[in-house]
Structure formats: structure tokens, C-alpha cells
Amino acid sequence: MDKKFTGITGTLVVILTFLTFISERLREIFIRDIVGPVVADAKNVSSLEFMGYTVQPGYNLVNEIFFGAIILFLLYVVYRTVDEHGIDKKIFLALTTLLISGGFLRALGDTGMLEYPLNIILISPMTYISLTVLGLIIYNAGFYFEDRNGFEAYKFIMYSGGAVLLFLAALITRFAYIEGLSTEGLMVLPITLIVMLIVTGSQHVLSNFRSGYVLEKSTGYVVSLGHALDGISSAYGVANLEYVEKKPVSGWFMEMIGTPYGFLVLKVGLAFLILSFIRNEELDNFTYLVLLAIAATGLGPGVRNVLRIIMGI
């Protein structure tokens, strides 16, 4: 009996010691590799003593896996939610208000108007997570009011997203009023307008040869114009304002082709290529989600680039 009691006691001690070690180790990883870098980034320092650990801003293997898992989970939730309620052209266009808001939110972070800890939501990937959660809330609320009050879901989504966008635009406008605008940076506006008109005309002509495809849909124009905005703003900033392209693939392509404006041609060309192979009758929930994701990778960064350039930051 004594040996049995001793064995059980020893086993419990080993288990408790292991759990204590694991919990301490997990706490260290969570603080040092996940929370710490976000805080250091928010405080705009190269190194920081945070809760007993020395942390640095930026990505590492642990937080890439952690945030990647969160984003994948949110994408799964988005897919299941959309699969339940559905998405059509009206809802797609209504959700673009949130995509544009993403660009305003990132630009707001660049201004430095919000200080720690409020600016944490302005740091990548927290911005994307926050916007996705907000989008899910607004999307579900739209169908909640549609089911109970008959108020069309797309209108609720559009008005809610528009309200968020107007609020962020007001904050950006306040910063621009106080700090002023960049004279050289303002030149990006007429250049962007010309590019957008050329892309719109080119897509219209191309849609005549690819009738029945998304090219001729308003959703297709959102995708192509979003990437045109990202392409021209990135190219203008690099070519004229000494901006640096931080995305390795984009920077490599600019150097390979010999001009930053080649990035514009690449982005618009790829958008046209994708849109010219998606038939109108194939626009189901999943396809709309894919197009929304593609639009987000162009429209959000493009809006942020333009705002940064005209504010000179």
C-alpha cells in the first residue's frame, strides 16, 4: 500500500511539474513572441522590456503561425456565415465600403494620431483581424434586421460600412487640415484618375470579346480598379517620392522590368486574366468571396498608398 501510494504521489508530482513547466513556457512564448512584438510595434521602438522579457517588433515564426491560425479560423467562420446567408452583387458592393475603410484605417496608423494602446488595432495583422470581425458583425446584423424588420441586408451593410468609412475619413481630414498636404504628392490624384479611366475603357472593350464573363460586371470593375489604384500609387511613390516597395515579389518585379510602372501593368493584367475566366453563371457564394478577397488585396493597399502620398507621410 505504501509503495502504491508513493507511486501515485510521484506520478502526480511529475504531472504537476510538467504542467507548471508547460504553462510557464507557454506564458513566455505568448508574451515574448506574440503579444510583445505587437506592443513594441505599437510603441514604435526597436526593443522593449515587456513583462520581464525583451521583445522586438515585427514577425517571427511563432506569431506568424499564431496569427495565421486566427486568420484561417476567421476565414472559415466567414465562409460558413456566407454559406448560411448568401452573398450577391448588392452585398458584394456594400462590403466594398469596409475594404476602403481598411485603407483608411492603415493610413490612420501611419499618421501617428492614435497612441498606445489604441494604435494596436492599426498594426498589421491586427487591422485585418479587426476589420474581418467588424465585417462579420455588420453582415450578420444586416440579415438579422432583414429577417425581423424586412430592412434589406445590403442596405444595412452599406449604411454601416459607410458610417465607419465617414468616421475614419473625418479623422484623416483632421490630420490633413492640421499638418497640411504634400504638393508633390497631390499630383498622384490626376494621374490616378487618368489610369482609372484607361483601365475602365480597356475593360469595357475587352468585355465585348469576353461576353458573359465577370469582366462586364460591376464586381469585375471593383476588382480591376482596386488593383489599378494599388499599382499606380505604388509605382508613383517609388518612382517620384523615394518610397520603398516593402513586398519582396513586387519590388523584385519592379527591378526586373526596369520601371516601377511595370507593377501597374502586372496587377491590372492579372486582374483582367482572372476576370475573363469567371462566367457570370458561376457567381455563387464561394466565387463572390474569392472576388472580394482579390479586391481587398488591391483596394485596401491602394487607398492607403494614395492617402499616405497626398499627406506626405
| Averaged pLDDT for residues 33-56 | 86
Taking only the tens place, the pLDDT of each residue in 263-304 is: 899 899 999 999 999 999 989 999 999 999 999 989 999 999
Q: Note the pLDDT of residue 27.
A: 79
Q: Which grid cell sits at 195?
A: 489610369
Which of 21-30, 131-140, 271-280, 282-291 is predicted least confidently?
A: 21-30
Would you say how long the chain is, in residues?
Answer: 313
Q: Is the pLDDT of residue 1 over 50?
A: no
CB 263 within 8 A of CB 234: yes
Share of the chain above pLDDT 90, in %: 53
Alpha-carbon distance 32 to 82, whole Å?
A: 36
Lowest mean pLDDT among 5-9, 122-126, 148-152, 157-161: 5-9
Is pLDDT of 148 > 60?
yes
Q: How far apart are CA 301 and CA 103, in angstroms?
A: 6
Report the C-alpha gap between 131 and 104 in whole angstroms.
11
Q: Tell me how far apart the alpha carbons of residues 215 and 209 are, in angstroms, rounded to a whole number.
A: 10
Residue with cell string 515585427? 58
- Alpha carbon distances (Å) from 186 to 190, 191, 198, 306: 8, 9, 20, 9
Measuring CA to CA, how many Å separate 251 from each of 46, 187, 259? 24, 23, 10
Residue 103 C-alpha cell reads as: 485603407
**CA geometry: angle at 300 spanning 59 and 168, to 5°?**
100
| Amino acid 57: pLDDT | 86
DSSP state for residue 22 in the 8-state scheme: H
Whether the per-residue pLDDT at 5 is higher than 90: the answer is: no
Contacts 24+ apart (CB under 8 A), 163-170: 164/97, 164/98, 164/101, 164/134, 165/97, 165/98, 165/100, 165/101, 165/104, 168/101, 168/104, 168/105, 168/108, 169/104
**Phi and psi for 134 in degrees, rounded to 5?**
-60, -40
pLDDT of residue 231 exceeding 70, the answer is yes
Contact 229, 192 (CB under 8 A): yes
Average pLDDT over residues 114-136: 86
Find the range with the poorest average confidence among 19-28, 53-62, 69-78, 95-104.
Answer: 19-28
Q: What is the pLDDT of residue 22?
A: 61
Q: How does the average pLDDT of the chain come out, rounded? A: 87
CA distance 77 to 71: 10
**pLDDT for res 95:** 95
Q: What are the residue boundaries of the structural domains of the chain, listed by start?
A: 2-55, 61-311
The percent of residues in the chain predicted with pLDDT above 70, rounded, is: 91
How confident is residue 203, by pLDDT bands cut at 50, 70 and 90?
Answer: very high
Contact 309, 181 (CB under 8 A): no
